[in-house]
Structure 1
């Protein structure tokens, strides 16, 4: 028996999953203590329930994820719509430093994955899939490179990559909050009373302003234009031989829209954009986690867990000993370390969810929410492509 959840039904289920996650976080103190995003709590519980249905009663639940993909585009569009050029300029030095750290992370992930694969007698290609391809790259990169690997003769490569990306998404949501919280408590960190903190407070107060129907309609129009125009840009670039992820072009269009609006002194409503971003993020995460096909991963569960644990160790080491230190060992550094765990194991939405869980408890971090989304959206995918091709050219891959 198969139950297919499609159309608006998936929104109903996702909202119920979010409500369940929020309830559990409130009722179980350790979830709040370790700053686990409620979308992760509810999403994992739902996927376990779906697994039980299939294992115990042979009832398979499948999800139509078209709306999930749309919410991902909306989320990145809100990042673009909130990216003012004068604000981007402030992230200069920190952005450069964390871009270098991102390269270090990608290389370390691939060394770990390939090393484990070769020690266990597997082809190094599986290790690359269990490195930066699936973890820093996420599902999209895992699918793309998994198909390439399958064509090259790696049996089940795409499925293995998707499984690693799925467990990475879970791990990124589970460890980011605890890592950031541990750094904050261990070093007694709190938001600094500086201009940035004052700006963060001003933005928090702005976000609490009343939102009118005109603001909602304007935001919906802007998001729709970002997605549609982003697709046009993608089609144009594809004709020139350059393929970019849809979320990246949607965000780029958002940056153009918001800065053009500012130039004509017709700024967009920031609180409405922020609320749209939060809604899109939570629905995307809930849909991603609740729709995980855990049953299909059971056959390779042992190998996947070994790879995941190795990558968790790599990401925590980089976050704690590199990200936290090179960014100043302050409160913003701890929040960025938390976000970096999401980037390294899951995706930018997981990084944002981790940082949101921390800042809702300890206070705002303007710098973290400026830099981490830019690393995740602009740089990590581009750097990852270069790093992957570098490793493929290594002698143990046959020089490509």
Structure 2
């Protein structure tokens, strides 16, 4: 049984809405910030797997998955303004450097562990920064790249499993880690109120006209077209595979920074965020629906052990490196809670961790809430995505 692209789009939107519904009804899903596309799409993939036992094979047309994926990464690139590094000050630069080091460290651990089990190094990258720092979006994107370049048919499902493990682990450990640091070092419960608001693009705009939406969509589509061309040209000239979404993200960052200098056009953050959420939701749902769950069994135990090591090392990294470099105070403890969230899962988990910690001590940490989401959702990708692309090309 096969479904064409239009049918898959309709099913994906329905599954996405079902995932959103389940999140409102099941507290566990909301508490651990499990994305709605992961909830709905994973249930469909399990159903498809069970149907194979009664000789019913279902195939989904994946032709629309790549365009939606490139839209999402284009929007990520539009958020990468160099001004943010200047305005964020020394603390942002320190935390960002720690995030970049974390991405390198996670890949090194993943590759080393998988090699120790006699498995392909690409599994190590997929269970490293791709899935943990990158979350489900990067896991599916780079998992697809690995499948295309190396023929490892289970790359996506391995990356998704790692991302899900990290998502839950990061949510469980962020709050307790913060509390441990506060009690261990008897930290004074006070915060730095002098830090400036970081992102100059953010406005109190919660609506947009049809024309503004059309302008934002036109800009993103132009970025995608250029990105496709640049990626293809780079691959042809260098021999290294540069995925279209990476090319689009880099072009988007270039356009954003040129616009910051010359103020050529205004970016409507509301429309851009709406396009981003829509594209990510559909792209993730489509990818989750087509996962082959049975292919995970080949690397299940090595993957579990590798992920356990990743979690332990990140906890130690947060305590002995990030906490100290960021000031060894209440704000840095809250930031460590955030690091566990996005370092193992996603930015919403980081925010949830920091919210819980701040509520526990009845004090909002402005530096943490400004710096952690910005670094975790945008700035870390400046290093992590090119690094992952390079490593996959090398080992493939």
SS at match of 1:233: helix
Deviation at 1:235, TM superposition (A): 2.9
- In the alignment, structure 1 residue 370 sits paired with structure 2 residue 374: yes
Give me the whole-angstrom Cα distance separating, in 1, the residues matched to 2:106 and 2:252: 28
Aligned to 1:81: 78
Match of 1:153 in 2: none
Q: CA deviation at 1:8?
A: 2.6
**Paired residue for 2:309, among 307, 314, 317?**
314
Deviates more, 1:213-222 or 1:320-329: 320-329
Look up the SS of the partner of 2:267 in the other structure. Answer: coil
Question: Normalising by the residue count of structure 1, what TM-score does the alignment of the two structures yield?
Answer: 0.76
Per-residue deviation at 1:130?
2.8
The alpha carbon displacement at 1:326 in A equals 3.0
Q: Which residue of 2 aligns with 1:132?
A: 125
> Once the 2 structures are TM-superposed, how far is the Cα of residue 42 of structure 1 from its aligned partner?
1.8
**Aligned position for 1:262:** 260
Whole-angstrom CA distance in 2 between matches of 1:39 and 1:175: 19
Residue in structure 2 matched with residue 171 of structure 1 by the alignment: 165
State the number of aligned residues.
Answer: 360
Which is worse superposed, 21-30 or 158-167? 158-167
- Compare 380-389 and 81-90 and name the one that shifted more: 380-389
Counterpart position of 2:114: 113
Shift of 1:27: 1.6
**What secondary structure sits across from 1:235 in the alignment?**
helix
Counterpart residue number, 2:340? 337
Q: Secondary structure at the match of 2:33?
A: coil
Quote the Cα distance in structure 1 between the aligned partners of 2:225 and 2:108.
Answer: 35
For the structure 1 residues 193 and 187, does the alpha-carbon distance in structure 2 shift closer, same or farther, using more than 3 Å as the test?
A: same
Over 3 Å counting, the alpha-carbon distance change for 1:352 and 1:17 in structure 2 is farther
Aligned ranges for residues 1-400 of structure 1 at < 5 Å? 2=1, 4-55=2-53, 57-89=54-86, 90=88, 91-115=92-116, 117=117, 124=118, 126-133=119-126, 135-137=128-130, 138=139, 158-183=152-177, 194=193, 203=202, 206=203, 208-241=205-238, 242-265=240-263, 266-295=265-294, 297=295, 301=297, 303-323=298-318, 326-328=321-323, 329-342=332-345, 351-352=346-347, 354-355=349-350, 365-374=369-378, 377-384=381-388
Distance 1:192 1:184 in 2: 14
TM-score with structure 2 setting the length: 0.77
**CA contact 1:101–1:323 (8 Å) conserved in 2:** no
Per-residue deviation, residues 44-96 of structure 1 (Å, max 9, x unmatched): 212112222222x3222212222222121111111111222201444433222
In the alignment, the residues of structure 1 paired with residue 5 and residue 207 of structure 2 have an alpha-carbon distance, to the nearest angstrom, of 31
Distance 2:196 2:353 in 1: 15
Q: 1:146 to 1:66 in 2, by over 3 A?
A: closer
CA distance in 2, matches of 1:200, 1:184: 26
Residues in 2 aligned to 1:39 and 1:192: alpha-carbon distance in whole angstroms: 36
Could you report, residue by residue, the CA deviation over 1:308-332 in whole angstroms, capped at 9, with x for unpaired residues?
A: 2112212212332214653334333
d(CA) in 2 for partners of 1:269 and 1:184?
A: 36
Q: Give the RMSD, CA atoms, in angstroms.
A: 3.5
> Which consecutive residues of structure 2, in runs of 5 or more, have no partner in the other structure?
131-138, 324-331, 359-363
> For 2:23 and 2:190, how far apart are their aligned partners in 1?
24
Kept in 2: contact 1:40–1:173 (CA 8 A):
no
- How much has 1:9 moved relative to structure 2? 2.2
1:318 and 1:374, CA in 2 relative to 1: closer, same or farther beyond 3 A? farther
Q: Which residue of 1 aligns with 2:327?
A: none
